[in-house]
Structure 1
Amino acid sequence: MQLLHVDSAITGDQSVSRQLSAKAVAAWVAAHPGTQVQALDLAKDTPPHLSADALGFRTGQAAATEAQRTENALSEALVSQFLAADVVVIGAPLYNFTIPTQLKAWIDRLAQIGRTFKYTDKGAVGLAGGKTVIVALSRGGIYSNSDGGRAAEHQETYLQTVLGFMGITDVRFVRAEGVAMGEEAKAKALATAESEIRVQVAEAANQPKVAKTA
């Protein structure tokens, strides 16, 4: 079994999402001995944001320059790594109501027609199904328990949408909310999230696996 561990927080060891994603990976490996883990730290190895040179996978045109060949090779490496994973654990903090720009740059490289989705006469169809994705979310405030909060966050909602677009139906979110609202609130949020990680990993372990579609 292949597990891809993706972190995106820029705050290093102080990051709550990194702490939680690490715990999710450890829990998964404990439940599935022999799992092979690959780590991708997007804060250290940030894919360049898309440019005209990086659009080869969208246009279908062969690379004509060294810059285009470099960009194409990076996109291919990232999407191949993603598709090879049976399980993906993502650490995703909330920055200015959405995900880090580093995480968005990675997702932009994955959203490749013919690799992770395709268009048909009935609309888009995801091609990256058959995976379990566990997303460890961290938030300074609390967004999940009010209409206003849910309308303001474009972190969980975006990830749910884009992963679903790629055909991934087993997406599990673990939230640590209110981590900037005092030490007591942070400790409570971490304890709740760590308990939820154990639940989600146990449930995923018993989930019937669907064959990969890509």
Structure 2
Amino acid sequence: MAGERVLHIIGSPRGLRSRSTRVSRRLLARLGVSAEELDLHATDLPALDAAAIEGRYALVEGREVDPIVCDRWRRVRDTIEHFLSFDTVLFSVPMWNFGVPWRLKQYIDIITQPDLMFNVDGNGVTGLAGGRRAILVCSGALDIRPEEPGEEMDFQTSYMKAWLGFIGITDVRIVQVRPTYGTPARVEEAMDIAFQEVDALAESLLRAPRV
């Protein structure tokens, strides 16, 4: 991963208490890379309100748009270009009510724009973020990882994989941190397993060349 630009998107507002963030930072340390961190709960994201959405249609149609709305869409484009400027994107994703935190969903809604993050033509949808790698560190109170009872309730990992595929990212590595609720011994065991998984992931990423 030498020379790659890495973005670490933090979906939890809990700071150092976030288990997904702790595991992600362990991975970065093992990789020996310096990542840019984007703490979504401390970031001023452009709002997609009614004025912004109507302004988008007006811009596409070539109609006059309020300067404030134009500035908001400039910020949207800047946010998309920032995301696309990285080779690898690491997501720290806690599970909230079987899905992703609202602030992460807001970020995804902002950057998933036609002609900027994906194209649609007669052949279907083409994601414009291809050639990048994504790493998902997904934590959750319940141990509902694949092949475990309750896996059908995991709309966190499945949603992130589906969205990444939609924008063209198919090289997706996943580390599960589960369960994060229970006895102290059970939770620490889950953390130890996650640390072992990211250590192994780091070794494989450092060993294998990008293709």
TM-score bracket, shorter-length normalisation:
0.7 to 0.9
Residue 67 of structure 2 is matched in structure 1 by 66
Tell me the amino acid that sits aligned with residue 91 of structure 1: S
Find 1:26's aligned residue among 29, 46, 53: 29
Larger deviation, residues 104-113 vs 54-63: 54-63
- CA shift, 1:161, in A, is 0.1
Residue 51 of structure 1 is matched in structure 2 by 49
Residue 127 of structure 2 is matched in structure 1 by 126
Q: Is 1:154 aligned with 2:155?
A: yes
Any stretches of 5+ residues in structure 1 without a counterpart? none
State the Cα deviation string for residues 4-48 of structure 1 (Å, max 9, x = none).
Answer: 1110102222111111121122223x1xxxx55221100111525
Query: Hey, what's the Cα distance between the residues in 2 that align with 1:100 and 1:193?
Result: 20
> Measured at CA, do residues 83 and 166 of structure 1 come closer, stay the same or move farther in structure 2, by a change above 3 Å?
same
Does structure 1 conserve the Cα–Cα contact (< 8 Å) formed by 2:46 and 2:76?
Answer: no
Larger deviation, residues 119-128 vs 81-90: 119-128
Query: Hey, what's the Cα distance between the residues in 1 that align with 2:56 and 2:169?
Result: 21
How is 1:1-214 mapped onto 2 (pairs within 5 angstroms)? 1-28=4-31, 30=32, 35=33, 37-55=35-53, 60-61=60-61, 64-146=65-147, 149-210=150-211
Query: Hey, what's the Cα distance between the residues in 2 that align with 1:99 and 1:176?
Result: 14
Query: Hey, what's the Cα distance between the residues in 1 that align with 2:200 and 2:60?
Result: 43
- CA shift, 1:68, in A, is 1.0
> Measured at CA, do residues 157 and 71 of structure 1 come closer, stay the same or move farther in structure 2, by a change above 3 Å?
same
Does structure 2 conserve the Cα–Cα contact (< 8 Å) formed by 1:180 and 1:186?
Answer: yes
Tell me the amino acid that sits aligned with residue 8 of structure 1: G
| Bigger CA radius of gyration | 2
> Measured at CA, do residues 61 and 26 of structure 1 come closer, stay the same or move farther in structure 2, by a change above 3 Å?
farther
Query: Hey, what's the Cα distance between the residues in 2 that align with 1:26 and 1:147?
Result: 30
> Measured at CA, do residues 202 and 115 of structure 1 come closer, stay the same or move farther in structure 2, by a change above 3 Å?
farther
> Measured at CA, do residues 61 and 147 of structure 1 come closer, stay the same or move farther in structure 2, by a change above 3 Å?
farther
> Measured at CA, do residues 145 and 123 of structure 1 come closer, stay the same or move farther in structure 2, by a change above 3 Å?
closer
State the TM-score, normalized to the length of structure 1.
0.86
Tell me the amino acid that sits aligned with residue 4 of structure 1: L
- Which secondary structure does the structure 2 equivalent of 1:171 belong to? strand
How many residues of Structure 1 are paired with residues of Structure 2 in the alignment? 205
Query: Hey, what's the Cα distance between the residues in 1 that align with 2:199 and 2:91?
Result: 16
- CA shift, 1:168, in A, is 0.4
Query: Hey, what's the Cα distance between the residues in 2 that align with 1:114 and 1:198?
Result: 38
Query: Hey, what's the Cα distance between the residues in 1 that align with 2:81 and 2:9?
Result: 14
Query: Hey, what's the Cα distance between the residues in 2 that align with 1:69 and 1:174?
Result: 39
State the TM-score, normalized to the length of structure 2.
0.88
State the identity %: 27
Does structure 2 conserve the Cα–Cα contact (< 8 Å) formed by 1:141 and 1:181?
Answer: no
Any stretches of 5+ residues in structure 2 without a counterpart? none
> Measured at CA, do residues 124 and 194 of structure 1 come closer, stay the same or move farther in structure 2, by a change above 3 Å?
same
- CA shift, 1:187, in A, is 0.8
